[in-house]
Structure 1
């Protein structure tokens, strides 16, 4: 069974170099395409051996999920707003690598319970979906996630994974989650993260 959540500190051997490379990427606001707050890099930041390392950690082979912003970085500054709140990810597994410096880190990644249904994630078991009162998974996602994404009163925060420089969190994309508060007035002092969206791979797990 896949772990619901993993926290790996000191993930990169040279996080300052990765941060410098992330800040050097282009964050053209005219290229924004999504409901997220802030701005995403137009090109990905490659981390050598990432797929193999994550595959070994979760004991399941993974690769880049097509059609996602896997590998791209995102900068979110104080006051930035998105068009969605609590959400799920279109992937087999998700990851966030924090690249904000220690003196700037605030918030983190938040996880939630939906008050009306009591769910903390989209169930993978059809019986659990039926028990929750829905005919299929799409009906559940539409009624719970899409309907209530921006209604804070509909959700109860169950956990905050604090932001820490060079901390990687890996988690099930079906968990109801959202980014923590944005901060900073410049890219150098703002919320800087490297995004990961994995698909399941057919290759075998390679131990790095």
Structure 2
């Protein structure tokens, strides 16, 4: 069974080099895709051996999911607002590498329980799904996640993984989660993360 959440500190051997490369990427507002706050890098940042390392850590082979923004960086400043909140990631496994310096870090990544249903994720098998009263996961996602995504009172935060420079978090993507708020006023002080969305590699 895949682990729900793993936190690994000091993941990269040269995190400052990766941060410099991330800051040098272009963050064109016209490239933005989705309802998230902040800007997505127009290019990816290759990390050698990433998929192999993550596969060993979670005990399952993975590859980059081509339908996602895997390998891109996201920069979110204090003034940035998005149109969504609590969400899931439609992939096999997710990861976030924090590249903000510790002096600037605020918040982190939050995980939630939906108050009305008591769910903290979309069930991964038919029996567990049926026990929720839903027969179609897409209906559940629409009725729970999409309907209440920005309604803070509909959710109870269960876990917060604080930001720390060069900290990697890996987690099951069907868990209800959200990024902490943006911070800072420029690239050097803003919330800078490296996004990972994996597909299964069999």
TM-score range, shorter chain: over 0.9
Secondary structure class of the residue paired with 1:188 = coil
* Count of aligned pairs: 202
| Whole-angstrom CA distance in 2 between matches of 1:10 and 1:100 | 13
| Whole-angstrom CA distance in 2 between matches of 1:97 and 1:197 | 12
Secondary structure class of the residue paired with 1:55 = helix
User: Which residue in the other structure is 1:128 paired with?
Assistant: 128
CA-atom RMSD in angstroms: 0.6
1:83, distance to aligned residue in structure 2 (A): 1.2
Structure-to-structure mapping, 1:18-33, within 5 angstroms: 18-33=18-33
| Whole-angstrom CA distance in 1 between matches of 2:48 and 2:72 | 14
User: Which residue in the other structure is 1:189 paired with?
Assistant: 189
Once the two structures are superposed, residues 48-82 of structure 1 have per-residue CA deviations (whole angstroms, 9 ceiling, x without a partner) of: 00000000000100000121000000000002111
Q: TM-score, normalised by structure 1?
A: 0.96
Give 5+ residue unaligned stretches, structure 1: 203-208
Q: Within the alignment, does 1:140 sit opposite 2:150 as a pair?
A: no
| Whole-angstrom CA distance in 1 between matches of 2:169 and 2:26 | 24
Structure-to-structure mapping, 1:151-170, within 5 angstroms: 151-170=151-170
Structure-to-structure mapping, 1:40-189, within 5 angstroms: 40-189=40-189
| Whole-angstrom CA distance in 2 between matches of 1:181 and 1:37 | 9
Once the two structures are superposed, residues 153-188 of structure 1 have per-residue CA deviations (whole angstroms, 9 ceiling, x without a partner) of: 100000100000000000000000000121000110
| Whole-angstrom CA distance in 2 between matches of 1:79 and 1:152 | 19
1:135, distance to aligned residue in structure 2 (A): 1.9
1:47, distance to aligned residue in structure 2 (A): 0.2
Give 5+ residue unaligned stretches, structure 2: none
| Whole-angstrom CA distance in 2 between matches of 1:73 and 1:187 | 12
User: Which residue in the other structure is 1:14 paired with?
Assistant: 14
| Whole-angstrom CA distance in 2 between matches of 1:98 and 1:37 | 16
Structure 1 residue ranges, 4+ long, deviating more than 2 angstroms after superposition: none
| Whole-angstrom CA distance in 2 between matches of 1:116 and 1:15 | 41
Q: TM-score, normalised by structure 2?
A: 0.99
| Whole-angstrom CA distance in 1 between matches of 2:31 and 2:98 | 23
1:131, distance to aligned residue in structure 2 (A): 1.3
